[in-house]
Structure 1
Amino acid sequence: MASASLISEPSFSAYWGGSGGFANQTVVDKVPPEMLYLVDPHWYQFPPMNPLWHGLLGFVIGVLGVISVIGNGMVIYIFSTTKSLRTPSNLLVVNLAFSDFLMMFTMSPPMVINCYYETWVLGPFMCELYALFGSLFGCGSIWTMTMIALDRYNVIVKGLSAKPMTNKTAMLRILFIWAFSVAWTIMPLFGWNRYVPEGNMTACGTDYLTKDWVSRSYILVYSFFVYFLPLGTIIYSYFFILQAVSAHEKQMREQAKKMNVASLRSAEASQTSAECKLAKVALMTISLWFFAWTPYLIINFTGIFETMKISPLLTIWGSLFAKANAVYNPIVYGISHPKYRAALEKKFPSLACASSSGDNTSVASGATTVSDEKSEKSASA
């Protein structure tokens, strides 16, 4: 009893500022009885969260959901209906937007509802489904980004010796992405780990608090194949992309010096400049993705290794940062891809990010003009 008091009272003061009146309540009190078997005993030591946090989280997730559904929906529509954008490389771009679209379409409304009730009210099955969707579309996004990085590596580093990606190759990669993602995310439904309510009780995710190593092993193996392996592949790809672009730029400067001119900014040089911008934009996009999902990784690892006590408030940031990822990509495409911007201005003049007469050396995070040209030549051949 004494130890319980020592746990609950400081936690209460930390969340409620010592205002009193709720010392005997916990964050689990509002959870429906049919959900209690999924709630880890760890959460019973924490008092209810301030309703302001639930309201703020619900509002932010609702806004992010609307922006993501509209933004990614427009990316899918424009890339699919604009002939100049229908290339094998851009199939990966569409797949990424499709994954982000489905993530917020399926996850934003349930979270807004649960934030309103300040607990999970949709039942155990929907809890598992919600967590599965989050894991599935998150895995789909990261492996699509990995395939985009490998495609960029093939085009930019290997150059003319590279074998262009065809529609068949792109579709096979997309099929692999979804088969791989489904295989990993259904495992908890069959006993390797499980999906449970998170500490804030308004979202669900993997169980990182169960102490047996069967459950813990899933977190470790899954994080390797869905976080560290893709991260290593992307870093490898973009390291050599930047190295190749840097070497080419150096050659251009040396050649210009020999010819006693300020610059060799021909069409070829402009293309090289575009590839350099590609690397920067793509690295930014990928960095944002990992910035979004790293909090979840840290929370999961903190749980299985017990490095510190996880509070319900901490779990809010994992949900928020991960779901915000689905908003980034359409914004990056809109400000960086000249063909996308031109199509956006034509189809939705009031939503165009900038005039299509602007910088023609801009580049998308998903595809470059050089790869598009290769794809078109391959298709015609």
Structure 2
Amino acid sequence: MVDSTQNKSYFFDEEAGWGNRSYFTFFSEFNRPWKGLSYLESIIYIVLFLVSMFVNILIFYQIINIKSTRTVTNYFMCNLALADIFFTLTSPLIAIQRITETWVLGGFICHMMVFNLFVSGSVIIWTMTMISIDRYICINRPSSKKITPRMAIIFIIIIWIGGFSISSPIAMYFVIRQFPFGTETVKICTLIWPVSKVRISVVFTVFLCVLGFLIPLAILGVNYFLILKRFCKSRRAIASIKGNTLTKNKRHREARDLRVIQTLVLVVVLFLLMWSPIFIVFVLIQLDGMEDKMKMSSQMFIATLAIAVCNGCLNPFVYGIRNYRIKRSVLRCLLCRKRQRRIKQDNEPNHNQSVYAMSFTQNSSSVY
């Protein structure tokens, strides 16, 4: 039997019907050469948690409460922000676990933390896919039936139901196991598949990667390629027309549509760069266990998970910078709150200040 103290992220045990079996620690790591690394990881996760929660709640609030932002695309973006919020909620728990090493959060959290990560992650992926489908229909098939707000809500509900269904095995098979470790006994939250003639871990991993990543990636790639192809064709046609024959409204519409596509492509590129590592590492963990190499470290899993959380921090900034309606609503909200604080701090407001406040509000409304 392999000595568990030889590896920081694996424990080993005999199991009836399975033989010598390895258990990946996922959120725990032992025998660290430098204890300070756990505190550094925790600080990173706490910072990501605070940033992601603030910006996603702000975007979610603006889309829900401002009628001008209630478009089909923004409904999907609102759902994306909600999924990012749920995904980020696990960050403080991960920070605690990296410091304590042994699992101290209880059995229910062990079941639900990873379940929440998989559900919200799948919702994020398929929401991005639906955004690409909606944009493709609006731009490449303008004469066909478009996705209505009611249809968007139905699709969002289906995405969440699908996420719960796909991730249900994770809730079932992530459990707490305890092992002797030196003079102590430690606990880890690990994935234990049932003994079977068929490797359930392989079936689930393939199913997860194909349905949860590769198919959405193919749909995203095809949709945005066709959209960009159409835009390139439209821009060449516009360039061949004399400037006087092209109306100002049409030029504005073309510029607006191009800005929307640039935004969506940017979001997808960031999404792919920040989500593909976690899928790759999850596959490598499965392969590592099957081949008894035991070379993977939980640090890789935690690092790629942090990259995925970063995606939730960046998405709202991309929307705020590139999406005019959302940016207008957010800036108006922040400026109005700032102005209200300044008025409250002034104990003796005069007539000129009141006039200035009215003028500021009118100018803000005219600009935005």
TM interval, shorter chain, is 0.7 to 0.9
Alpha-carbon displacement from aligned partner over 1:299-337 (angstroms, at most 9, x marks no partner): 122123338621232222122112222111111111111
Please tell me the residue identity of whatever aligns with 1:338: Y
Aligned to 2:170: 188
Aligned to 1:216: 202
Comparing 62-71 and 312-321, the one that deviates more: 312-321
Instruction: Answer yes or no: is 1:232 the counterpart of 2:214.
Output: no
Comparing 130-139 and 53-62, the one that deviates more: 53-62
The alignment partner of 1:175 has SS state of helix
Counterparts of 1:177 and 1:124 in 2: how far apart (Å)?
27
Counterparts of 2:120 and 2:204 in 1: how far apart (Å)?
18
How many residue pairs were aligned?
Answer: 320
Alignment of 1:1-381 (within 5 A): 8=6, 40-41=22-23, 47-48=31-32, 50-104=34-88, 106-159=89-142, 161-190=143-172, 194-195=173-174, 213-256=199-242, 261=243, 264=246, 266-306=248-288, 309-349=295-335
The Cα of 1:266 is off from its aligned counterpart by: 2.3
Comparing 303-312 and 285-294, the one that deviates more: 303-312
Counterparts of 1:226 and 1:96 in 2: how far apart (Å)?
15
The alignment partner of 2:272 has SS state of helix
Contact 1:136/1:182 (8 A) holds in 2: yes
The Cα of 1:207 is off from its aligned counterpart by: 6.3
The Cα of 1:47 is off from its aligned counterpart by: 3.0
Contact 1:139/1:226 (8 A) holds in 2: yes
The Cα of 1:27 is off from its aligned counterpart by: 5.6
Residue 235 and residue 168 in structure 1: after superposition, are their counterparts in 2 closer, same or farther (change >3 A)?
same
Comparing 40-49 and 261-270, the one that deviates more: 40-49
The Cα of 1:4 is off from its aligned counterpart by: 5.8
Alpha-carbon displacement from aligned partner over 1:171-210 (angstroms, at most 9, x marks no partner): 11111111110110112344xxx3368xxx99967669x9
Counterparts of 2:364 and 2:205 in 1: how far apart (Å)?
46
Comparing 132-141 and 109-118, the one that deviates more: 109-118
Residue 290 and residue 119 in structure 1: after superposition, are their counterparts in 2 closer, same or farther (change >3 A)?
farther
Counterparts of 1:108 and 1:124 in 2: how far apart (Å)?
18
Alpha-carbon displacement from aligned partner over 1:135-189 (angstroms, at most 9, x marks no partner): 0100111111100010000001112x03232222111111111111011011234
Contact 2:320/2:327 (8 A) holds in 1: yes
Please, what TM-score do these two structures have when normalized by structure 2? 0.76
Residue 304 and residue 265 in structure 1: after superposition, are their counterparts in 2 closer, same or farther (change >3 A)?
farther
The Cα of 1:100 is off from its aligned counterpart by: 0.7
The Cα of 1:49 is off from its aligned counterpart by: 5.4
The alignment partner of 2:262 has SS state of helix
Please tell me the residue identity of whatever aligns with 1:102: F
Contact 1:143/1:177 (8 A) holds in 2: yes
Residue 89 and residue 342 in structure 1: after superposition, are their counterparts in 2 closer, same or farther (change >3 A)?
same
Alpha-carbon displacement from aligned partner over 1:231-267 (angstroms, at most 9, x marks no partner): 00100110111011111111101123xxxx4994722
Counterparts of 1:114 and 1:60 in 2: how far apart (Å)?
13
Contact 1:196/1:204 (8 A) holds in 2: yes
Please tell me the residue identity of whatever aligns with 1:83: K
Residue 205 and residue 254 in structure 1: after superposition, are their counterparts in 2 closer, same or farther (change >3 A)?
farther
Please tell me the residue identity of whatever aligns with 1:62: I
The alignment partner of 1:120 has SS state of coil
User: Larger % of strand: which?
Assistant: 2
Residue 249 and residue 350 in structure 1: after superposition, are their counterparts in 2 closer, same or farther (change >3 A)?
same
Counterparts of 1:177 and 1:244 in 2: how far apart (Å)?
29
Counterparts of 2:47 and 2:174 in 1: how far apart (Å)?
26
The alignment partner of 1:255 has SS state of coil
Please tell me the residue identity of whatever aligns with 2:113: Y
Alpha-carbon displacement from aligned partner over 1:240-298 (angstroms, at most 9, x marks no partner): 11011111111101123xxxx49947221222222222222211211222222211111
In structure 1, list runs of 5 or more residues that go unmatched: 12-25, 30-38, 361-381
Let me know the Cα RMSD of the aligned residues: 3.6
The Cα of 1:52 is off from its aligned counterpart by: 2.1
Please, what TM-score do these two structures have when normalized by structure 1? 0.74
The Cα of 1:356 is off from its aligned counterpart by: 7.8
The alignment partner of 1:186 has SS state of helix
The alignment partner of 1:163 has SS state of coil
Aligned to 2:181: none
Counterparts of 1:214 and 1:195 in 2: how far apart (Å)?
14
Counterparts of 2:214 and 2:166 in 1: how far apart (Å)?
15
Residue 202 and residue 319 in structure 1: after superposition, are their counterparts in 2 closer, same or farther (change >3 A)?
farther
